[in-house]
Structure 1
Amino acid sequence: MTLPTPDSGAAPTTPAQRAARVSTAVAFGLQGFFLAVLLTQLPQFKDRFGFDDTTIVIAVVTVSLVAGVGSVLAEYVATRATSKTTLRAGLAVIAVAGIGIGLSNSTALFFAGFAVYGIGLGMVDAAANMQAVAIQHRYGRSILSSFHAVWSIGAIIGALFVSASSALEVSLPVSILVAAVVVAIGTAALGPRLLATGPEVTSSAATPLVIPWRPFLALGAAMALFFAIDFSVGNWSALYLKDLLLASASTAALAVAAYQGAGLVSRLTGDYWVRKYGEIAVVRVGAGIASVGLVVVVFAQSPAMAIAGFLIVGLGAPVVAPLCFSAAGRLAPPEQTDAVIARLNLFNYAGTVIGGGIVGAVADLTNMRIGFAIPLVFAVGLILLAPAFRPARADAAPLSVDHVG
């Protein structure tokens, strides 16, 4: 992928910074790839183990809760070693968990594998964004959306991989094992090119960290709402098409591919729109577009219409996440952003619990169509939270990040 050219007046980048940017982007891509592989195969897991919708909800909520533990672990490791070490360790955990999930032949082993995966998921989510924010600070311009764009590329590849595996009648265990091996190989290839941030390279990490709490919590709320929308699409779109609209498994997987494909467009252009119009305008417009797409999803009468709705959602919502991390990175000195990013990332899992748990529970009690009305409300909420994306460091009473979340 061709990276955007530097803004006029931006400091020239070094080879080490460019290498770190590429390596971090690869980590984002691996994360998106494997998550999409797991989520788009939920219908196959359901059939393989004889799960009902409630069991799927429990599995998804379990991953989200354990991922929160992984994010806390990422902060612990990154503030005592480096975010580079944390990121590589998290990707290794994902690869090992994927192998375990692929080889599982019982419900107990399935849940154990998903729990281990949740630890790796949380570590990578936090550490990859630590890397991205640190690199953005060194570039001196908005580039964070480009990292999340590569995450979307990985998710698209993952969804298409599942669709192709289904069409070719590749078994579920084999497809999961192949995906896990891809993550393992990619992790090994990252090498030493990631950016070293943390107490090993700066003595300022020992300085007590304080942040203005109101902007932090507002960004956290926006983060939770976005991930509730995102996880609803990733988690339930395939089941929506398969169970309610009677689509085939290969067609159902295309809902995530359409969402992530549009999300790629949103994120590839996100940095440009931010530099041109500012964060607030971008969030408002993006959330508005997502609201329109979710209206289409709720009223869809065919798989094609639902897929079109998910595509529209993807054009608007995915730009929100990188802007949350970018704004949070301005709440503390650049050398102390790792802890802030890890704590903000916890709101990610609050959102996934809502998107994976509450939406699924409502759908189980009623139907998936009513379930998708919930993320529609969340998209409207994002419009209202748009002003939070221009935080100031000193305009509110500071609260130690240890007391937030």
Structure 2
Amino acid sequence: MDTVDRGKQAARPVGAGSGRWPATAVFFLNGLTLSTFIARQPSLKSVHHLSNGQVGVLGMLFAVSAIVCMQFVGPLVARVGSRPVLRVSLVVMPLLLALVGLAGGFGALAAASIALGAVHGTTDAAMNAHAVAVERRAGRRILSVCHAAWSVSAVVASLATAALSRAGVPLTAHFVGAAVVLVLGGLVLGPLLLPVGEDRRSGAASASASASASASARDGGERSAGSGWSGAFVALGLAGTALMICEGAALGWGPIFLHDSRDVSLGLAATAVTAYAAGQTAVRLVGDRLATRYGAPKVFRTSGLVAAAGMGVAVLVAAPVAAVAGFAVMGAGMAVLLPLAFSAVGQVEGMSTATAVSRFTTFTYTGVLLGPAAVGWAAELTGLTRTLAALLPVLLAVALLTRLPNSRPLPEPEPTPPATDTDTDTDTAVTAGSR
């Protein structure tokens, strides 16, 4: 494809027709569903008389289930596209939220948590793959705004939960009512997503890599694991794990650190999470424009250094107000790191976009799952202050050593028209993918 054609494609509009806003709305709906579930954890614990250990087991079952299902999302999306996967998961996930509210007893809660985690993991990987496909199609970055929508949804869900709890709305009524609204949202949003053919091709930028991946798919599926797990991809994956460990440490242990190590009141300590989330959301709203203007590598490196500086202030400065401000600066610095990494993963050669994104999501979820626990174990041995301080060189290493492609996500060459019209009809594509 010559420069003129590429320029024309890169100039495509980025409104509803490009898939940008539907993709952003998917992140918002997914965030609302999961954040509603998380925000009601105290009520769930109280209603079912759960111990701390049982709550921990439910969380572990949820996370493990999500990680396991992510392993199958890549091949599934590569075969049928992310649109049919999301159209199903955006409806099923709220129904499972309602099922959690209706469950009676620990066994039923465990089964519902496993199912909810599985569908959330599927949705998480599929929606990131879909957003990468939208970026490629529009020739413009959108992942930072998508992740901002997720952050906003968490705030909305927490505020709604607080209001409903004060009003005395029971847990079951809350979950069932939320499920009705979220199912309607998913049904409206599904038809607006990109056609299935947009993310059923390779994430490689070159035509030869695309042709190779297509030939491999015709021969029986994805390219071999050895050809897909390149050094560049593994480095991005480890960076994603490290980022989520640092974020989990800030969100999960930041308030505890301020209260226990700095003698900050519980109310002020809790504002560390609010400050972090506020800084992160604000920068994510402009992150795509920053990366487009200055280039992904420069923005990633600068943001990583800002995040490390904020964490340093939060952990090493004794003044409570300065520490809270440090968490806000850390959130601002962390804001674009994961979206830029997801965008870079979508350009990795040797595997389909869906497979690359689902594998990368596994790396990040590993950080989410292991990070808070690892910080707790290390804090038992060396103290919480030293443990959090030890994450500073980790964050600096990610900022300085991670390599991202400099170009913005330009569209791929248009695919050769298929022999049949399976890519144009969702139901037909699902049928073909299930054979």
Q: Same fold (TM over 0.5)?
A: yes
* Alignment partners' CA distance in 2, 1:51 and 1:158: 23
* 1:394 equivalent in structure 2: none
Contact 1:102 1:172 in 2 (8 A): yes
Alignment partner of 1:228 is 2:245: yes
Contact 1:75 1:342 in 2 (8 A): yes
* 1:5 equivalent in structure 2: none
Aligned residue for 1:179, secondary structure, equals helix
AA aligned opposite 1:38: F
- The 1:109/1:163 distance shift into structure 2, 3 A limit, reads same
* Alignment partners' CA distance in 2, 1:236 and 1:38: 21
Alignment partner of 1:355 is 2:399: no
- The 1:355/1:61 distance shift into structure 2, 3 A limit, reads farther
* 2:111 equivalent in structure 1: 112
AA aligned opposite 1:77: L
* Alignment partners' CA distance in 1, 2:379 and 2:169: 30
Aligned residue for 1:159, secondary structure, equals helix
- The 1:195/1:100 distance shift into structure 2, 3 A limit, reads same
* 1:401 equivalent in structure 2: none
- The 1:10/1:75 distance shift into structure 2, 3 A limit, reads closer
* Alignment partners' CA distance in 1, 2:68 and 2:402: 28
* Alignment partners' CA distance in 2, 1:373 and 1:357: 16
**Of 293, 299, 304, which residue of structure 1 is paired with 2:310?**
293
* Alignment partners' CA distance in 1, 2:298 and 2:400: 11
- The 1:44/1:355 distance shift into structure 2, 3 A limit, reads farther
AA aligned opposite 1:99: A
Contact 1:159 1:254 in 2 (8 A): no
* Alignment partners' CA distance in 2, 1:241 and 1:163: 24
- The 1:372/1:131 distance shift into structure 2, 3 A limit, reads same
AA aligned opposite 2:66: A
* 1:395 equivalent in structure 2: none
- The 1:47/1:77 distance shift into structure 2, 3 A limit, reads same
Unmatched segments (≥5 aa) in structure 2: 1-6, 202-210, 408-435
Contact 1:230 1:318 in 2 (8 A): no
* Alignment partners' CA distance in 1, 2:231 and 2:135: 24
Unmatched segments (≥5 aa) in structure 1: 1-7, 392-405
Alignment partner of 1:339 is 2:344: no
Spell out, residue by residue over 1:144-170, the C-alpha distance to the aligned partner (whole angstroms, 9 max, x if none): 222222222212212322333344444
Aligned length: 382
* Alignment partners' CA distance in 1, 2:23 and 2:83: 9
Contact 1:93 1:116 in 2 (8 A): no
* 2:278 equivalent in structure 1: 261
Give the structure-1-normalised TM-score.
Answer: 0.79
Alignment partner of 1:206 is 2:237: no
Aligned residue for 2:87, secondary structure, equals helix
Aligned residue for 2:309, secondary structure, equals helix
* 1:318 equivalent in structure 2: 335
* Alignment partners' CA distance in 1, 2:404 and 2:14: 34
Give the structure-2-normalised TM-score.
Answer: 0.74
- The 1:129/1:388 distance shift into structure 2, 3 A limit, reads same
Q: What is the deviation of 1:372? A: 4.9
- The 1:14/1:142 distance shift into structure 2, 3 A limit, reads closer
- The 1:88/1:257 distance shift into structure 2, 3 A limit, reads farther
Contact 2:77 2:199 in 1 (8 A): no
Alignment partner of 1:189 is 2:188: yes
* 1:126 equivalent in structure 2: 125
Contact 2:71 2:358 in 1 (8 A): yes
Instruction: Determine what percentage of the aligned residue pairs are the same residue.
Output: 29
Q: How does 1:2-401 map to 2 (within 5 A)?
A: 11-13=10-12, 18=17, 20-51=19-50, 53-198=52-197, 204=214, 206=217, 208-209=222-223, 210-211=227-228, 213-235=230-252, 247=266, 255-298=272-315, 308-332=325-349, 336-361=352-377, 372=388, 376=392, 378-388=394-404
The answer to which of 116-125 and 236-245 deviates more is 236-245
Contact 2:13 2:138 in 1 (8 A): no
Q: What is the deviation of 1:75? A: 1.9
Aligned-pair Cα RMSD in Å: 3.7
Contact 1:97 1:116 in 2 (8 A): yes
Q: Which protein is bigger by CA-based radius of gyration?
A: 2
AA aligned opposite 1:358: A
Spell out, residue by residue over 1:316-362, the C-alpha distance to the aligned partner (whole angstroms, 9 max, x if none): 112111111111111138x9312211222111211111224323555
- The 1:287/1:54 distance shift into structure 2, 3 A limit, reads farther
- The 1:199/1:290 distance shift into structure 2, 3 A limit, reads closer
AA aligned opposite 2:291: V
Spell out, residue by residue over 1:63-112, the C-alpha distance to the aligned partner (whole angstroms, 9 max, x if none): 22211122123223212312111122222332122112222343323322
* Alignment partners' CA distance in 1, 2:234 and 2:394: 16
Q: What is the deviation of 1:52? A: 5.1
Contact 2:10 2:140 in 1 (8 A): no
Contact 2:345 2:357 in 1 (8 A): yes
* 1:402 equivalent in structure 2: none
Aligned residue for 1:330, secondary structure, equals coil
- The 1:178/1:374 distance shift into structure 2, 3 A limit, reads farther
* Alignment partners' CA distance in 1, 2:274 and 2:302: 22
* Alignment partners' CA distance in 2, 1:86 and 1:353: 24
- The 1:383/1:46 distance shift into structure 2, 3 A limit, reads farther
AA aligned opposite 1:112: A
* Alignment partners' CA distance in 1, 2:74 and 2:84: 11
* 2:410 equivalent in structure 1: none
AA aligned opposite 2:344: A
